[in-house]
Amino acid sequence: MAVRVVHVDRRSKLGWMERTYLPAIVAGLATTSRVFFKNLAGWLSGKKPGFVVQYPEERVDYADAFRGMPVLVQLDNGHPKCVACGLCEFACPTDCITIVPGELPEHGIERYPDEFDIDMSRCMFCGLCEEACPEEAIVMSREVELGAYDREGTNYRKSDLLVPEPLLKRRLDFLRSEYGRQHEAPKD
Ligand code: SF4
Ligand code: SF4
pLDDT tens-place string over residues 37-63: 998 888 888 887 666 788 889 888 888
Residue 168 lies in a domain: yes
Residue 147 lies in a domain: yes
Residue 59 lies in a domain: no
* One domain for residues 84 and 158: yes
Give the chain's largest Cα–Cα span.
72
| Residues forming beta bridges with residue 113, ordered by sequence position | 101
Q: Which residues, 6 or more positions from 88, have their beta carbon under 8 angstroms from its beta carbon?
A: 97, 99, 128, 129, 130, 132, 133, 138
Q: Is the pLDDT of residue 66 over 60?
A: yes
Question: What is the number of the ligand closest to the CA of 91?
Answer: 1
pTM over cut 0.85: no
- The CATH number of whichever domain residue 157 belongs to comes to 3.30.70.3270
How far is the CA of 82 from the CAs of 59, 137, 139, 140, in angstroms? 31, 5, 11, 14
- In the reported structure, the alpha carbon of residue 136 is separated from the centroid of ligand 2 by a whole-number distance in angstroms of 8
Residue 55 lies in a domain: no
Segments forming the whole domain that contains residue 86 = 70-179
How many domains does the chain contain in total? Answer: 2
- In the reported structure, the alpha carbon of residue 62 is separated from the centroid of ligand 2 by a whole-number distance in angstroms of 25
pLDDT digits 0-9 by tens, 105-157:
766 667 889 999 999 999 999 999 999 999 999 999 999 988 899 989 999 99
| Radius of gyration over every alpha carbon of the chain, rounded to an integer in angstroms | 22
Q: Percent of the chain at pLDDT above 70?
A: 91
* One domain for residues 169 and 87: yes
Residue 58 lies in a domain: no
SS3 breakdown of the chain: % helix, strand, coil, rounded to 5?
A: 35, 20, 50
Residue 103 lies in a domain: yes
Residue nearest to atom 4 of ligand 1 (CA): 123
